[in-house]
Copies of this chain bind each other. A is one copy, B any other.
């Protein structure tokens, strides 16, 4: 249940109201950071620091709470890349546009998003999901695929 386009002013406000959430400056600031930041896989603390620049009154607790409801609404994805903290990514397109996986550099923790080969991957996943569902009577909702290794810079450094 990813979220659609993030275009125009207040594109998110309808979604918020629809879910019974109030529109607040803190929530707008979090979304703005997620949309405008260079870094696309921010931790709660990084988001906090960024929001803090323009909204010093917003506390870390509110960042966590906002990220939680954004995640619940499908507007944000939450990932664990193995560095001991959660990282968040704006779901900025349609379902198909969003679908991508990650390459994680285990040395410098850099994350690379990729969409290539996603089609082949999707086909395999469909097949696997079907088989597993039947064999284990398991209803599959989501999947996680990540590749771990060394990025260009870190490989050369060694």
What is the distance, in angstroms, from A115's C-beta to the closest C-beta of chain B? 11
In-complex Cβ contact of A121 among B124, B139, B147 (8 A)? B124
Q: What is the bound-complex CA distance between A117 and B139, given in angstroms?
A: 17
Q: What is the bound-complex CA distance between A72 and B54, given in angstroms?
A: 44
Q: What is the bound-complex CA distance between A147 and B133, given in angstroms?
A: 10
The stretch from A5-13, A15-23, A41-49, A149-157 touching chain B is: A149-157
Q: Are A139 and B145 in contact (CB under 8 A)?
A: no
What is the distance, in angstroms, from A87's C-beta to the closest C-beta of chain B? 13
Q: Which residue of B lies closest to A156 (CB)?
A: B137
In-complex Cβ contact of A80 among B82, B142, B147, B152 (8 A)? B82
Known: A146-B143, A148-B144. A128 touches B138 (CB 8 A): no
What is the distance, in angstroms, from A104's C-beta to the closest C-beta of chain B? 9
Residues of A bordering B, CB below 8 Å? 80, 82, 103, 105-106, 112, 114, 116-117, 120-121, 124, 127-129, 131-132, 135-152, 155
